[in-house]
Structure 1
């Protein structure tokens, strides 16, 4: 997949079949839409193109600095590549871009830059300055500038909307099973392993302290989870705690993973942690000894679950 960091960087000798949106999560609802692109380019006459934006338009237009996203940009790139999308344009969304009129966007971006053959878009899509243009306007522009407009069905749009909402709600409630069902894959966190307090090492349960890449990444609710990672091309299972470590008076949110059957050095390495199952909420114990006893029970529960996979 070719990646372009702005609309102006894009270049392609063929005409394009494209869609646009945030595609946060790249979940099952999104995939139904994205697969339409690949189906339209099977004869190799056209190339598929996804236009997405960063930062999230809501952060710019509505000042919603607390918007939490399901995928970092790098995670989204990997997911889109796995579907078979040929071109991805990640355009910086800012006030200047938001001021383009509908026809300016169609003419300068879709027609002149992307050499559009067809756009696949939802019936409720609105675009242009102040989002004044709708699907009927886009169809009229298609007739004027000679490109096709394929409308995504109401049901597919509802699938996307419902899925995104349910995924975020499920993650904030610790319902990882439901979130994974809607995603079509295991929700994951990506980050660099850094040095923590190293309490786990002193009680025989060493953990990798994960520094998440981006502040706007949605972190699931506090608690203990069964997880897995690919380390040195080998699948390694473990358990992860998200929380504040109240037993030892922690005051900063941390994400810590204890891997089973692994004792290598992970410091400064980037790892991806896929979340498989929620075990329990975070608790404050009366002593470190009681915490250790609970962690041993968590390990037993984790291994019992892993054996069912």
Structure 2
């Protein structure tokens, strides 16, 4: 059997690992070219957002058995479980669905499982990612009733031994959906640090692990998209054949670090960060405020 729970028990309630704090800076004084060109025309195309409490289910795929890997799991889950209590998350409340309900959170890590490689360690497409999630749910390790949570978020966090066809080449992570659920895939950034670890934390990172700190940064991008555009019919637009989602406004080619990350602080080991969740520091992507037409670390 390839599935195993995180520690001895299935996580079925909040982790009680964090108490959230605010970030250390507020806004970026610049805007990206996407904001200049498309900020005013970015509207809801008619779909729903994920509002109210959103359960997050995490599949750590591959080899996560070492003590370092277990620390990485905790670092990642602490962020996911606590970030919605920070003022960084409040900018997302500007985004409403076709029913008028706004993204409010909280995010809640409802369950987590280690899958050591049920579909092999070389993954070829999104169908494999979806099947990994479906199998994890059906195994009982993500749901005591083997039921999909259609209003939740499923996360595949790949281990360092996992190869994915598009990872490192086309993306560092992405979000998608099936008929029943929305999900994101994040590859292990240490596999290709030059592509998937942001320069501010490439050498030194706030949790002394550039790979998992980069995974948090990637999550901070993808969660913006998946909350505001879970089925690809809400906060999205076409720009000359390119699909734009919320997270794209403050990241990507040609976007300065000031816009991408806002005003960063520095730890004693020269690692940069811009948010605190509990007693841990992280580097997150800013969020495009449609009201202020800026990339923000906080709307306060």
Higher strand share: 1
- Is TM more than 0.5 here? no
Structure with higher Rg: it is 1
Larger RCO: Structure 1 or Structure 2 (Cα < 8 Å, ≥ 6 residues apart)?
2
> How does the TM-score come out when normalised to structure 2?
0.28
> How does the TM-score come out when normalised to structure 1?
0.28
Higher helix share: 1
